[in-house]
Structure 1
Amino acid sequence: MTTRERMRDGFDRKLLAPLISGAVLNPVNSTIIAVALVPIGVAFGQPASATAWLISALYLATAVGQPVAGRLIDRYGPRRVFLPSTALVGLAGVIGTLAPNLAVLIVARVVLGFGTCAGYPAAMRLTRDESDRTGRDSPASVLTVLAISTQTISVVGPALGGLLIGVGGWRATFALNIPIALAAFVLGARRFPKTARPAPTGSFDLDFPGMALFAGTLVSLLLFLMHPGAGDWYLLAIAVAGAAGFAGRELTHAHPFIDLRLLGRNGPLLRTYGRALLAYVIAYSFLYGYTQWLEHGRGLSATEAGLATLPLFATGILVSLLTGRREAVRGKLAVAALGQLAGCALLLTLDSSAAVWLLVVVALVAGVPQGLNSLALQNSVYRQANPDDIGASAGLLRTFGYLGAIVSSALQGALFGTAADTGGLHDLALLLLGIGVVFLAVTVFDRSLSRSTTTRPEKAENDA
């Protein structure tokens, strides 16, 4: 290996391309579908309530699959899980491209969700493995590249989807996964270390009952949050029963899927997951709720609404670039908390005649916490998680993020009704302000954050 193939601190530069290619598989498919829902509905004669399952299916599969994939990666290594997962993405692309009806298309999205689960945990696992190999902390720029790449692909996703639809119809948005998956597979096969983790020795229980209870609990909870109603309380009861069964199983099993005993002793990591949930409720409310209001409440066209939100994404990426090399997690989260409160407060000033300059200000302010939270939460998990469980821990971070997305969707459905009017936006803003206050409190009073850049993960597990 030549010096050009390594960074100055020893990190293997050849790993960056496969790391990024795997990490962006999920965000590109999360955003590109937004512009394809209407033409898909027209093609199959289905209403918006039916095509919405194309979004929910991916969220459900990914929320359940991320920690499962992370657990397998921690045990068997990134290569052994990453390669079949990316092949699954390609298969999903074929199924979606040839789908004869909406039901098959939803199946394709489920397969796609499971296939994209390995990318991010594999990236975090390899980053940690490189640190172990070199005997030094992996450079902050590596984690920054991961964060910026996912943010960037989220920005270009809708525009790319519109371009593909214009050229080849909505099926092109599914066909795109075939070459992307092929590229990720080839890069992973050629560059991922074949012995990144020690080969499994002795008996190993994958704890399938624990995985099943976890999946059942999460699916029931997410289904309830997506469509809360008097007739759906049984889903919440199933979720509570599943959670109790899962806790009992994991606390007594010799090889638990998620070691709740160890996780329970890692207060800093638990608080990071809580912050991720709160942060993404606010983030997704801006990404989707505020965007809907721009069209319904402010009267902008879809194109104009997209342009009005560009400063939000651009600011997030710029903030990540400017602060990525600094590992001051506490400072980033504190500024992000204040930015969230300011952005939510600005929503209360909007009405149907809001000036364009005010819309730009809202987007700029909301973009600051987007960039800071993405980096800080990722770096927190990297520092706070047990090194042997970094893949599963990274997967759980994404799971809590998707929980935030579902909660945000439920809030919007309850407050907006048939249209995203100004009254509904103001009610949403008040709720988001309350969530932002909680986020600020769990950040300011979390003393472990000041030690996050110097404390080894093994010691952080015992910090309360």
Structure 2
Amino acid sequence: MTSLTARLSRSLRRPPEDGGRETRQDRPEGFNRKLIAPMLLGSVLNPVNSSMIAVALIPIGTAFGMPPSQTAWLVSALYLATAVGQPVVGRLVDTYGPRRLYLIGTSLVGIAGLLGALAPSLGFLIAARVLLGFGTSAAYPASMHLTRSEARRTGGDSPAGVLTALAIANQTVAVIGPTLGGLLIGAGGWRTMFTVNIPLSLACLVLGTLRLPRHPAPDREQTSATGRVDLAGMALFAAMLVSLMLFLMSPRLARWYLPVLAAVATTGFAVRELRVPEPFIDLRVLGGNGPMLATFVRQLLSYTAAYAFMYGFTPWLEEGRGLNASVAGLVLLPLSLSALLVSGATGRRSEIRGKLVAGGLFQIAACAALLLVDSGSSLWLLVAVGVLMGIPQGLNGLANQNALYHQADPARIGSAAGLLRTFMYLGAMTASAATAAFFGEGARTGGLHGLALFMLAGAVLLLAVTLLDRSLHRVGLVTARARA
């Protein structure tokens, strides 16, 4: 983290644009380098907790005597909380500034880590994951808000290095999470994974207190939201997600009322959000911004496949292939390396569409390769599949984040960033439900192949959405001209 911050600090020094004639007094300062460390550290709290749990599902199920279909709620509970929490916190960040929300959220992470480490039952552990989800909802919208505010203060476009660093940090931590989780489980059992949140939370609190601005960003007049919270909209949105997830996690005819409830909640949510002056999610903005809506759809599809791989392939390595948690985590380590290398190599390139097209193609190839593995597959083949899946993870998330930065209303960048994360979490919840459905009797090879076909269909759809979105040509062109 220290070396990454140092490299970013050097890259963010902006040369004068007038050939050196500008005076020191007239030239605005560059990006505030003190913000980089709390931004990066806070933004990785969610991906590290999202990914480490993948190798812990089998050990936790064994400890509490629960099958994979029940331990999958450890995944869904966190994402249900973050799917609701991200837009709410993003809105509050736009209204009150990032510092206050950042500190509240990261403190909740430490509390949730302590509760998870002491959990006496699976239900208690799920509740701790819900609290963890709400706690990790603050840092990413706060970071995007700070990035936009600093760009406006300095009078130029946002430094590409900051957006790249946020994406690389999140993607890297997400993909090394299973390896880290496996090592922690091998060292002290699954409870040690939750204790990691305590020092991380303390570090965020110290950095946030010392370095984040005490007042809202300089563009406060452009973020004049009233601060009213749409509680009814939030309740309807939560009811829609919970009822749908309850059905998808165990689809049976006897539970017909759940999709009906989800449809009713969806209708009520849409009607309310179109009528209230300060909606929880402004559907009118989404309807009038087709490119941003397409970005949200791509985010949903790309992370559905990414998380289905994480929450499907990892338990299969342990139960279907017979590896222990530590070895399974190490098998996935090359995935993190390929994602990191791809993000680092392409992060500063302004072109977005090419990254998404390549990401879609590699995701299709990785899902197809997953159909080739079985309980007797060699370790090198398993590693190769992971490396292949790491490539789209290094491309898609970064490209969608950069696209959103240019498509969103600057005054609502925190809300838009929260919604981008919400669609990522919707993809994770879809992946969790699919994993529970295909692994109903355990993490067997047949279930893995069924999950791979599900992922393959989503990857094909992702590529189609990208190819049909002509606005991506303009986003890359505008960014390139701005740098010229």
TM-score w.r.t. structure 1 length? Answer: 0.89
Q: Would you say how many aligned residue pairs link Structure 1 and Structure 2?
A: 453
Match of 2:268 among 245, 253, 257: 245
Amino acid at match of 2:251: P
Moved more, 263-272 or 141-150: 141-150
Equivalent position SS for 1:117: coil
Q: How far is 1:423 from its partner?
A: 3.7
- 1:460 matched to which residue of 2? none
Q: Secondary structure at the match of 2:138?
A: helix
Who is 2:482 aligned against?
Answer: none
Distance (Å, rounded) in 2 between the aligned partners of 1:293 and 1:214: 33
In structure 1, stretches of 5+ residues that fail to align are: 457-464
Secondary structure of 1:452 counterpart: helix
Amino acid across the alignment from 2:13: R
Give the 3-state SS of the residue equivalent to 2:84 in structure 1: helix
Q: Which residue matches 2:291?
A: 268
Equivalent position amino acid for 2:335 in 1: L
Distance 2:317 2:157 in 1: 44
Q: Return the match for 2:240 from 200, 210, 217.
A: 217
Partner of 1:327: 350
The CA deviation string for residues 420-450 of structure 1, in whole angstroms up to 9 with x for no partner, is 4444333333333322222111111211001
Note the C-alpha offset of 1:142. 0.8
Q: Which moved more, 1:100-109 or 1:293-302?
A: 293-302
Query: Matched residues, percent identical?
Result: 59
SS at match of 1:11: coil
2:183–2:326 Cα contact (<8 Å) kept: no
1:99-157 alpha-carbon deviations (Å, 9 max, x no partner): 44443333222111111100111111111111111111111111111112122222443
Separation in structure 2 between the aligned mates of residue 152 and residue 429 of structure 1, nearest angstrom? 23
Partners of 2:96 and 2:345 in 1: CA distance: 36
Q: Deviations over 1:4-50 (max 9, x none)?
A: 79921311111110001110111122223344445555655656554
Shift in alpha-carbon separation, 1:54–1:99, aligned structure 2, 3 A: same
Amino acid paired to 2:448:
L
Q: Distance in 2 between matches of 1:40 and 1:423?
A: 23
Matched, 1:437 2:442: no
CA distance in 1, matches of 2:255, 2:83: 21
Question: AA paired with 1:145?
Answer: A
Counterpart of 2:82 (choices 40, 62, 68) is 62
Which of 33, 37, 51 aligns to 1:31? It is: 51
Residues 228 and 410 in structure 1, CA contact (< 8 A), matched pair in contact too: no
Q: Say if 2:112 is the partner of 1:89.
A: no
Q: How far apart, CA to CA, are the structure 1 residues paired with 2:313 and 2:74?
A: 21
**Structure 2: tracts of 5 or more residues without a match:** 1-8, 15-29, 480-484
For the 8 Å contact 1:72–1:81, the answer to whether it is kept is yes
Asked if structure 2 preserves the Cα contact closer than 8 Å seen for 1:226 and 1:407, the reply is no
- What is the TM-score normalised by the length of structure 2? 0.86
CA distance in structure 2 between the aligned counterparts of 1:144 and 1:202, rounded to whole angstroms: 29
Change (3 A) 1:222 1:397: farther
Q: 1:16 corresponds to which residue?
A: 36
1:144–1:375: 8 Å Cα contact kept in structure 2?
Answer: yes
Q: Structure 1 residue 392 and structure 2 residue 415: aligned?
A: yes
Paired residues of 2:185 and 2:325 also in contact (CA < 8 A): no
1:185 aligns with 2:205: yes
Q: Tell me the residue number matched to 1:173.
A: 193
Asked whether the 8 Å contact 2:107–2:201 carries over to 1, the reply is yes
1:355 Cα deviation after fit: 4.4
Paired residues of 2:273 and 2:279 also in contact (CA < 8 A): yes
1:79 to 81, 85, 99: 99
Contact 1:222 1:403 in 2 (8 A): no
Cα deviation, residue 454, structure 1: 4.9
* Separation (CA, whole Å) in 1 of partners of 2:209 and 2:434: 43
Q: 1:39 to 1:440 in 2, by over 3 A?
A: closer
Partner of 1:459: none
Root-mean-square deviation (CA), in Å? 2.6
